């Protein structure tokens, strides 16, 4: 019987898990849990930092100074054998008050630039949204060439009608 008890005790040892394996499993579980906790904490911090940065950017951006023309521009589009008209009223966002005064002083030159740009466009140039964006950029580039006291930082259309 003593042999039977020794065999049963040996079998009980074999049935249980090795302590080294238990320790390894515990370490792996702790590492996974720690990694998950670290990921959660860092993602919350990055979201908080992003919100803070967005808030700072909103505070830094001041309302713009706008220049709007009294009358819209009405021009013929550059179409062959077609009579298409474009009625557009651009609004300039400028970076300082001195630019508004300079635009008023150079109004004939700036109007000429705008008329030249608008009348050189075809229907295919002005219809898509990308075409309007290209026109805005062209206006900013050409008008900023004649301005010396500041610059136009945005162009918007308050009217844009094609007939």
User: In terms of domains, do 105 and 38 share one?
Assistant: no
pLDDT at 148: 93
* 62-88: pLDDT as tens digits: 678 999 999 999 998 888 777 888 999
Looking at the fold, whether 45 and 87 belong to one and the same domain comes out as: no
Q: Is the pLDDT of residue 56 over 70?
A: no
Same domain assignment for residues 103 and 38: no
The b-or-e profile of 61-82 (16+ CB within 10 A means b, else e) is: eeeebebebeeebebebeeeee
The domain tally of the chain equals 2
3-state secondary structure of 137: helix
**What is the per-residue pLDDT for 57?**
67
Do 75 and 146 have their domain in common?
yes
Residue 10: band (very low, low, confident or very high) from pLDDT cuts 50, 70, 90: low
Same domain, 46 and 86: no
Which domain does 22 fall in, by range?
2-59
User: What confidence category does residue 115 fall into, taking pLDDT thresholds of 50, 70 and 90?
Assistant: very high
pLDDT of residue 60: 62
The pTM score is: 0.62
């Amino acid at each position: 019987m003593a042999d039977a008890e020794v065999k049963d005790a040996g079998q009980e040892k074999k049935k249980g898990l090795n302590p080294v394996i238990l320790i390894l499993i515990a370490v792996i579980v702790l590492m996974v849990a720690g990694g998950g906790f670290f990921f959660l904490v860092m993602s919350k911090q990055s979201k908080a930092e992003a919100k803070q940065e967005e808030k700072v950017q909103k505070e830094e951006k001041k309302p713009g100074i706008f220049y709007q023309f009294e009358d819209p521009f009405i021009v013929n589009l550059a179409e062959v054998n077609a009579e298409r008209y474009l009625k557009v009223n651009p609004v300039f966002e400028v970076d300082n008050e001195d630019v508004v005064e300079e635009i008023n002083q150079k109004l004939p030159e700036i109007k000429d630039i705008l008329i030249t740009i608008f009348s050189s466009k075809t229907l295919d140039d002005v219809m898509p949204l990308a075409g309007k964006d290209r026109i805005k950029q062209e206006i900013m580039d050409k008008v900023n060439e004649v301005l010396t006291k500041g610059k136009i930082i945005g162009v918007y259309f308050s009217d844009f009608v094609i007939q």
